[in-house]
Structure 1
Amino acid sequence: DAMAGGEETALLQESLGTLDSSLVKAQDGSFCIVSGEFETSQEAEEMLEKLEKEGLEPGLLHVASGMSDEAPVGNAAGDTSALPEATMPSSIQVYGTVTEINGNQVMLENDNQNDPYSSIVLNINEDTLILTATDCVPKELKDLKVGETLYAYVSPMMTRSLPPISNAELVICQVPEDMAAPTYATITEITSMNDGTPAYVTDRDIIYFIGENTVIKTLDGKKELTAADLTPGTKVLAWYQIMTMSIPAQTTPDEIRVLP
C-alpha cells in the first residue's frame, strides 16, 4: 500500500533482507515497495507465505500484477489506462564488460543468461558517440579499456554470427559502481494525462514526467533548457532512480541532457 516514505519505508524495505525490492514513487509523492518478479501469481503467493513464516507481519505485503491495467498502488500517474503505447526503439540497449578490443571492434560480455545479447561485438565508427556516464564528456575509442563496464545502444541490424556484430550509435563509459547509467531515448510524442500533466512518450517503453526538480540541459551541461525544448524527435539522455512496473514504464527523471 502507499506510504509516506521516510523511516517507515526504509525499515520495511530493510526487513525484506536480500530479497530484491524497488521503491516506486507515485505522482502524489507517496511510495510503495515492489518486491520480486514471478512467472505466475502462485509463485508469488508462495514467496509471500514463506516471508510471513520467516517473520514478516501478515498482511503487510500483497501480490500485485505489473500489467498496465492491474498496476500496484504507487503508479507514477495513477491511471495507466490513459497512457499511450510506446514506439519501438530505433536502437537496442546492450551492456557488459569489455573482454577484447580489436581495431574498431569492442567485445562485450555479461553473465545474464536471459539476455539475448549477453555477448556482442560493437562496431565503433566515426558516427559513434562515446560519453562518460556522469557528465557526458566526449571520449574516443582509444579511451575504452578491457575490463571496464560499458552500456551501448546499437542498431537492430546485426549479423547472425555468434556473437552478433552491430554498429554502435552511442556508448556510455566510466560508469560508477554506485550509480545507474543514463537511458538514451527519443521523444516520440507529447500527450497529457487526465489531470493535464504532460507526458513525454519515448521509443524506450518509458514515459517521462517533468518534475519541479528535473534539471534539463544541453548535452555538454553548459546551458539550462526547459520542457519546451523537449519536442517529438528530440534525443535525450535521462538519469532517474525509480521507475514504475507499468507497461509502458513511467518515471520522473532527476536530469535530462538533450542531444544536438
Structure 2
Amino acid sequence: MNKIQTLTMTFLTVAVLTANGAGAAAAPEPVRSLSVQVNGKAIQQQAIFDNQQQTVLVPLRQVAESLGFAVTWNESRNVAEIQKGTIWSYAKAGEDGYPDANVMKKLGAKPRLLNGSTYVPLAFVRDIMKTPVAVSGDDVTVGGAAADDHLKKAGTITGVRSDNGNVSIHVNGFLRGVVLYVSADTEIVTEDGRALKPEDLKLGMEVEATHAEVMTMSLPPHTAAKRIVVKNSLPDRVLGTAGELQSVTADSDGTLRVELKGERLSEHAFDNVVLRVTDQTEIVSTDGNTLLSPKDLKQGARVYAFYSPMLTKSLPPIGAAEKIVVEPSE
C-alpha cells in the first residue's frame, strides 16, 4: 500500500451525455497508461496517470462491474452511480465530491472524460468502494493480492467483550483501533502455530489480525476477524483501565508513578489507580504499535494500562504497570 501513498486516487465516472444524446469527449493529451487487474484478472481498458492532477485514474464501469457493483447513469444529475449491498455513491466529471455513507467526501482529484470514457481517482475504489488497491510501476492491482496488507491490523488488545458466547476484541484503542468480531470461522493461533480458543484472547496481548474487507464507517470501525495470531501475552489475571493520566511524578529513587482515572476494562480492575512504571513496563503507541519510553507519558494523555492484581489497599490502590498503550494526541 505504501507504493500508492504518493498518488492521489480518484474513481472513474461514466461518460456525460450531451443534450442531443451524443457522447462528450475530452481532448486527448499525453498520459502514461497502466494495466489493471481486478481480483487477479486483467480488464480491457487501461488506467492512466493524470499528469495535471498527479493521480491514477481508472475506468469506472469496467472496474466497478468486475467487483460486482451495479453501475447506472443518472441522466437528471449527470452522475454515474454505483451500488453493491449497503455501499452507494456516485462520481461526476469535474467535481471532487463523493457520497460516503452520510457524508460528502473529497478525495483530492476529479473524475475526467477521456476519449469518450469516464475515469475516476483510484482513491474512490479504496475509500468509497472499500476495496484494497496497489500501484507498482505500470501495474494497478484492485482487490486480490492488494488485500493482503490492507486487511491486516497489528497491535494490542485494549478491550475484550463476551456476550452470550459472542466474543469481540478491541485492538489499538479508539482513534487508531478496530473492533474485531470473533466467530467459529476465525482461526486463532500463536506464532508457533498452536491453536487457541476465543476465550484465550486477553487484555494486553500483542496480536496481528487479518479481517474482512467490509468495515463499518464508525470510529473505531467494526469488522469480522478471519485470522488472529497472538505474538505475546501478559501474565495471567492482568487487570486493565482506560482513561487519562492525572499526574506523572517521580519517586526519590527515580521510579515513575502515574495516576490514571477513567474506566475499568476488566471485572476486578479500578477506575482510579496509581501505577509504578519500571524498566520492565512495556510502553507502546496505538499508532503503528511504536515502542515508547517513560518520558512519553505526559499528564493528560489517554492511555490503556494493564497491571498486576497485586495492589495496595489504599485509595486509589497502587500497583505495578505491566504495559501501557498510549493514544496519539489527535
The TM-score range, normalised by the shorter chain, is 0.3 to 0.5
TM-score, scaled relative to structure 2: 0.30
Structure with bigger strand share is 2
Larger Rg: 2
More relative contact order, 1 or 2 (CA 8 Å, 6+ apart):
1
